[in-house]
């Protein structure tokens, strides 16, 4: 895939975005080094929904998830806190409609699949990037163990990216969305109730989602309007039980079946304003560093994976890297910005707290035919990687 003489790409950050980018660039012929500041890539986190756009991008990247095709999500939809259906998702139609299924997996399984697709020794942990000096054709990356010269630097260091400002200036910053999110995964067999696919139930300023994972475990998430940085004095599991114990079945059972120590809580942040460019010289933003969005469409990591699949096509070794990066900026920025906006809108609707406003919202969602909701998803889920724009151009100049 790469040779010693292949030009060097350094990826800052070994999250989902950084690992996917590394895979894409290795397929494109680059010699890739991922620098990750964490001491180890721990299999942390809860579940994650991978929508058809990302599943197809992962297929393009040759990343194989440990999932059988008949493990794909089916059914599902939106309910009120009392259990009344407001809209159905029909995830079983996705393979026909979008060419790939909706998959729900544990983040650890996605991380393992991405790592397994990389050449040995690609990721170096315990190595924070301390600074980057960018030039027109290359950059010098200073890190905890020395420095590295690279013809391409992918900045994938997450929503709190320190390196983003080198490309996008100081403007784009993480802004608190006004609500917090709890997440956990329940062991297979611990929930006895029959689950109706992936569901999200809306209350007043609170939501609860249940997502059966492909391997039989159950991932759930819950949200609530709350002050930034707040933590529950009596523990987060107790807080979720307090808030959701009178919601419709099987929500109380799902919460009861969760080990208290498994409940994660994170405030939700979005990047605002959106960067004016994803590219500066040979530095390129990817994933949350470029477009951190609220989780309301479940598209944050999906967009990072799309970024990676696009980069693979647009900056092949031997092509014109600068033209490829310009195309990446032109194609990726409007798409991710549009999806981030829609995600934020859904978040604002979902977190409505007033009796009248949330009641009117529920009515509107119920009256909207399912097919309208499906059509709105089409633009997000029918994504295809771009065609190669600059084959055999001016060379990588590396």
The window from 13-21, 81-89, 246-254, 277-285 that contacts ligand FAD (CB under 6 A) reads 13-21
Q: Does 7 bind ligand FAD (CB under 6 A)?
A: no
For residue 42, the minimal CB distance to ligand FAD (Å) is 10
- The CB-of-145 to ligand FAD minimum distance in angstroms stands at 11
Residue closer to ligand FAD (CB basis): 49 or 396: 49
- Work out whether 38 is an interface residue with ligand FAD (CB under 6 A): yes
Q: How many CB atoms lie within 10 A of CB 390?
A: 18
Cβ–Cβ < 8 Å for 20, 305: yes
From candidates 61, 181, 224, 254, binder to ligand FAD by CB under 6 A: 181
- Smallest gap from residue 105 Cβ to ligand FAD (A): 10
If the CB atoms of residues 16 and 210 are measured against ligand FAD, the closer one turns out to be 16
C-beta closer to ligand FAD: residue 251 or 297: 297
Q: What is the spatial distance between Cα 302 and Cα 287, in angstroms, rounded to a whole number?
A: 9
List binders of ligand FAD among 301-330 (CB under 6 A).
301-302, 304
Whose Cβ is closer to ligand FAD: residue 180's or residue 396's?
180
Binding of ligand FAD by 180 (CB under 6 A):
no
118 touches ligand FAD (CB under 6 A): no
Neighbouring-strand partners of residue 140: 133, 149
Confirm or reject binding of residue 57 to ligand FAD (CB under 6 A). Answer: no
Residue of 183, 243, 312, 333 interacting with ligand FAD (CB under 6 A): 183
Is residue 78 within the footprint of ligand FAD (CB under 6 A)?
A: no
Per CB under 6 A, the segment of 251-259, 295-303, 316-324, 366-374 that binds ligand FAD is 295-303
Rounded Cα distance between 381 and 52, Å, is 6
Cβ closest to ligand FAD, residue 214 vs residue 302: 302
CB 103, CB 50: distance < 8 Å: yes
Q: Report how far residue 11's alpha carbon sits from residue 109's, in angstroms, rounded to the nearest whole number.
A: 21
Q: Which of 111, 122, 201, 299 binds ligand FAD (CB under 6 A)?
A: 299
Q: Using CB under 6 A, which of 157, 236, 320, 329 touches ligand FAD?
A: 157
17 binds ligand FAD (CB under 6 A): yes
Which of 8, 9, 13, 390 binds ligand FAD (CB under 6 A)? It is 13
Position among 18, 280, 347, 350 found at the interface with ligand FAD (CB under 6 A): 18
Which of 82, 84, 242, 266 lies at the binding interface for ligand FAD (CB under 6 A)? Answer: 266
Q: Give me the least distance between CB of 54 and ligand FAD, in Å please.
A: 6
Interaction between residue 396 and ligand FAD (CB under 6 A) = no
- Of the residues 11, 28, 33, 48, which one makes contact with ligand FAD according to CB under 6 A: 48
Q: According to the 3-state scheme, what is the secondary structure of the chain?
A: CCCCCCCEEEEECCCHHHHHHHHHHHHCCCEEEEECCCCCCCCCCCEEEECHHHHHHHHHCCCCCCCCHHHCCCCCEEEECCCCEEEECCHHHHHHHHCCCCEEEEHHHHHHHHHHCCCCCCEECCCCEEEEEECCCCEEEEECCEEEEECEEEECCCCCCCCHHHHHCCCCEEEEEEEEEEEEEECCCCCCCCCCCCEEEECCCEEEEEEECCCCCEEEEEEEECCCCCCCCCCHHHHHHHHHCCCCCCHHHHHHCCCHHHCEEEEEEEEECCCCCCEECCEEECCHHHHCCCHHHCCHHHHHHHHHHHHHHHCCCCCCHHHHHHHHHHHHHHHHHHHHHHHHHHHHHHCCCCHHHHHHHHHHHHHCCHHHHHHHHHHHHCCCCCCCCCCCCCCCCC
| Residue 335 binds to ligand FAD (criterion: CB under 6 A) | no
Of 209, 212, 287, 385, the residue at the interface with ligand FAD (CB under 6 A) is 287
Asked if 279 is part of the footprint of ligand FAD (rule: CB under 6 A), the reply reads: no
Q: Round the CA-based radius of gyration of the chain to a whole number and report it.
A: 21
- CA separation for the pair 372, 130 (Å, rounded): 48
Residue 35 lies near ligand FAD (rule: CB under 6 A): yes
Which residues of this chain interact with ligand FAD, rule CB under 6 A?
A: 12-18, 35-38, 48-49, 128-129, 156-158, 162, 181, 183, 221, 266, 268, 287-288, 295, 298-302, 304
């Amino acid at each position: 895939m790469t040779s010693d003489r292949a030009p060097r790409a350094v990826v800052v950050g070994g999250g989902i975005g950084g690992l996917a980018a590394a895979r894409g660039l290795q397929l494109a012929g680059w010699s890739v080094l991922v620098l990750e500041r964490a001491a180890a890539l721990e299999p942390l986190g809860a579940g994650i929904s991978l929508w058809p756009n990302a599943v197809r991008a992962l297929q393009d990247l040759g990343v194989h998830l440990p999932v059988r095709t008949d493990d794909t999500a089916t059914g599902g939809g939106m309910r009120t806190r009392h259990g009344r259906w407001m809209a159905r998702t029909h995830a079983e139609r996705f393979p026909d409609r979008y060419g790939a299924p909706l998959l729900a997996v544990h983040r650890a399984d996605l991380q393992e699949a991405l790592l397994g697709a990389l050449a040995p020794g690609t990721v170096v942990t315990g190595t924070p990037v301390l600074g980057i000096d960018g030039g027109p054709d290359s950059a010098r990356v200073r890190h905890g163990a020395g420095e590295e010269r690279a013809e391409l630097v992918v900045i994938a260091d997450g929503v709190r990216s320190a390196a983003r400002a080198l490309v996008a200036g100081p403007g784009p910053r993480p802004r608190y969305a006004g609500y917090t999110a709890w997440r956990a995964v329940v062991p297979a067999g611990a929930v006895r109730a029959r689950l109706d696919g992936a569901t999200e139930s809306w209350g007043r300023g609170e939501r609860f989602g249940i997502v059966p994972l492909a391997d039989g475990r159950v991932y759930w998430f819950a949200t609530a309007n709350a002050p930034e940085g707040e933590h529950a004095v009596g523990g987060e599991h107790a807080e979720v039980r307090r808030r959701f114990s009178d919601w419709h079945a099987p929500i109380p059972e799902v919460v009861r079946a969760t080990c208290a120590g498994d409940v994660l809580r994170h405030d939700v942040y979005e990047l605002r304003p959106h960067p004016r460019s994803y590219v500066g010289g040979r530095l390129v933003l990817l994933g949350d560093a470029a477009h951190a969005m609220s989780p309301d469409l479940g598209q944050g990591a999906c967009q990072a994976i799309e970024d990676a699949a696009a980069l693979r096509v647009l900056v092949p070794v031997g092509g014109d890297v600068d033209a490829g990066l310009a195309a990446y900026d032109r194609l990726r920025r409007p798409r991710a910005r549009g999806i981030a906006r829609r995600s934020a809108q859904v978040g604002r609707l979902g977190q409505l707290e007033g009796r009248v406003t949330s009641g009117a919202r529920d009515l509107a969602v119920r009256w909207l035919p399912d097919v309208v909701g499906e059509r709105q998803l089409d633009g997000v889920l029918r994504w295809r990687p771009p065609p190669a724009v600059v084959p055999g151009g001016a060379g990588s100049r590396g």
